[in-house]
Amino acid sequence: MASLLLRDATRSDVPALARLHVLTWNVTHAPLLVRGPSVAIRERQWQAAIARPVPGWFCLVLARPDGALVGFAEARASDHPEYGGELRKVYLLSEYQRLGLGRRLLGAVAERFLQAGITSMWLNGDPRNPSSRAWKALGARKLDADPGSGNYGWGDVRGLLAEERAPDAV
């Protein structure tokens, strides 16, 4: 897995990124009986995001040596009063999960935020998503007591950077 390339998404990635987004979103949320947008809708959304990014926005992709995408993370500067960055999306194909690659993606997001002077970030996810356990394991704290809320935050993303560079990181 160390041969996976972590890089910024480009316009040429849009078709593959849209397919990956739909596939991973549906696998993640299908057990919750939720179906997401189509590949065509996601492709339009990704084209717009990459063509006209809002300030502070970025998308990182993980690609195999043959160029196939296996995961991505999308983030941006936040208007949250306590958290300077927002992790909007992070998805990996099932066969690439539990290999340290999510940690690698989060570490890369943290590094990008730190380069921009942003030291904290939050995410809003579905609390029923099994990934919420991973957020806690990586130092996030639940931002409210509402069990129906999936708001998690990292007060200092430097801890994620240390995680990403840990000896067992892939």
Burial 105-139 (b: 16+ CB within 10 A, else e): bbbbbbbbbbeeebbbbbbebeeeeebbebbeebb
Which is more confident, 160 or 168?
160
Amino acid at 62: L
Q: Are 76 and 123 in contact (CB under 8 A)?
A: no
Q: Is the pLDDT of residue 163 over 60?
A: no
Residue 166 has a pLDDT of 43
Residue 64 has a pLDDT of 96
Mean pLDDT, the chain, integer: 89
Which is more confident, 170 or 77?
77
Tens digits of per-residue pLDDT, 74-109? 999 999 899 999 999 999 999 999 899 999 999 999
Tens digits of per-residue pLDDT, 34-83? 778 899 999 999 999 999 989 999 999 999 999 999 999 999 999 989 99
Tens digits of per-residue pLDDT, 7-42? 999 999 999 999 999 999 888 877 666 778 899 999
Under CATH, to which class is 5-164 assigned? alpha beta
Predicted TM-score of the model (pTM): 0.89
Residue 170 has a pLDDT of 36
Q: Is the dihedral of CA 37, 42, 44, 46 positive or negative?
A: positive
Tokens at 115, concatenated = 């380069």
For the chain, domain boundaries: 5-164
